[in-house]
Amino acid sequence: MASFGDSVKNFFSGSDNVESLRELFLEELRDIYYAENKLVNTLPAMAEAATTNDLKTAITRHLEETRGHVRRLEQVFSSINETPSEVTCEAMKGLLEEGNELIDETIEGTLTRDAGIIIASQKVEHYEIAAYGSLRTLARLLGYETAASLLAQTLQEEKNADTLLTDIAESFVNQRALAE
């Protein structure tokens, strides 16, 4: 049975395939660059809308990391001699619109509001985890080692952010159980 590695070797026997893979990598890079910039603009309002200090702090810290993600992506672009540019990421646009709807539909100062923000935020983190995981693999396939290691660093921060959100949600459950 042919392994994934074998099929990759076959792909690379034609040089036009390397070009199309690089194009796909760039397209995905521009997509997540748009998404991260959009997050930098959106996260302050999410932190503001949150009820508990735990969630406000988590979002504010991840906002700082997200600014770092933007800078890291700029380093990725420059590591392969490309100028940073964006393409609209419809998925992130949609996720953030849904997040705004959840904020509109919940009452300020309630735990329901925080639950809504955590759901919306984890959907965003999972999107980013998928995007960075794929980008890192593409970078490795293309032999872009610097890019791959930069992307891996952001991937880890996205995973940590996701875990922290789960921890906050679970702490609500525990506090609730204690109160009963």
Binding site for Fe ion (CB under 5 A): 66, 69, 128, 158
Q: How far is the CB of 13 from Fe ion (least distance, A)?
A: 36
Min dist CB 43 to Fe ion, Å, is 9
CA distance linking residue 166 with residue 161, whole number of Å: 9
Do 172 and 149 touch, CB atoms closer than 8 A? no
For the bound state, the minimum distance from the C-beta of residue 62 to Fe ion, rounded and expressed in Å, comes to: 6
From CA 105, how far away is CA 75, in angstroms rounded? 39
Exposed, middle or buried: residue 20 (CB in 10 Å: 0-12, 13-18, 19+)? exposed
- Are 86 and 33 a contacting pair, CB within 8 Å? yes
Tell me how far, at minimum, the Cβ of 39 lies from Fe ion, in Å. 6
Cβ proximity to Fe ion, 7 vs 163, nearer residue: 163
Integer CA distances (angstroms), 79 to 28, 113, 155, in order = 16, 41, 18
- Rounded to the nearest whole angstrom, what is the least distance from the CB of residue 23 to Fe ion in the complex? 23
Nearer CB in complex with Fe ion: 19/59: 59
Nearer to Fe ion, 18 or 133 (CB): 133
Cβ distance to Fe ion smaller for residue 75 or 110: 75
Please report, as a single letter, which amino acid is at residue 73: L
Closer residue to Fe ion in complex, CB, 18/28: 28
